[in-house]
Amino acid sequence: MDVSVRIYGDKRSGNCYKLQLLTSFLGKTIDWVNVDILKGESRSASFLEKSANGKIPILELDDGRVLSESNAIMHYLASGTHFIPTSPYAFSLLLQWQFFEQYSHEPYIAVARYINIYLGLPDSRRAEFEDKQAGGYQALAVMEKQLTQTPYLIGNTISLADISLFAYTHVAHEGGFDLSAYPGIRNWIGLIQSQPNFVPMYV
């Protein structure tokens, strides 16, 4: 695999930040192709030809093959590294947290943040923003329960699960979520931020 990978995305997106953080940990660089979702660029004909679901980020290989879904791209980029445990149970736990992230966390915390930060919390979306709060806090409670038992989500070492969930959790306040009652999560955020080669969002 090359040390530079081509990603189509938007650096403000947490789903794209997952790849930025992972590649930094792995010592790879990203050749970014900016896609502005607010301008509809992820629904353009040329983008849809690459990835029919019209969502960022996507990874494009040198031979033109494409992968979509941030969490799936992470597995490709980190294949064979210590970010992916090899025992079937630990590996399935890693996937459990990534599916949790996409189904039970991102649709609440990331969408609330999107409405607030990208769209400026317009009156027309305020009810939806408020509807996202209960589900977001439920997701945080699930994480908190685990992170008071183990330092990382699947045990004593960092994995893709932590990177996937760090992306939107550490900016949950931008979606209106108060982490002060979640000491396990706050401790874990500090652990991720103290990793060698950590890079903050937006860089």
Q: Which residues of this protein are in contact with a copy of itself, per CB under 8 A?
A: 52-53, 55, 61, 65, 67-69, 71-73, 75-76, 79-80, 88-89, 91-93, 95-96, 98-100, 102-104, 106-107, 138, 141-142, 145-146
Smaller CB separation from a copy of itself, 11 or 50: 50
Smaller CB separation from a copy of itself, 143 or 172: 143
Residue located via tokens 């990874």: 59
Smaller CB separation from a copy of itself, 76 or 198: 76
**CB of 110 vs a copy of itself, minimal distance in Å:** 11
**CB of 154 vs a copy of itself, minimal distance in Å:** 11
Cα dihedral across residues 129, 132, 136, 137: positive or negative? positive
Show the CA angle centred on residue 183, arms to residues 109 and 131, nearest 5°: 25
Smaller CB separation from a copy of itself, 107 or 176: 107
- Bridge partners of 141, per DSSP, are none
**Among 144, 147, 142, residue whose Cα is nearest residue 105:** 142
**CB of 171 vs a copy of itself, minimal distance in Å:** 19
User: Distance (Å, rounded) from C-alpha 67 to C-alpha 202?
Assistant: 23
**Length of the chain as a residue count:** 203
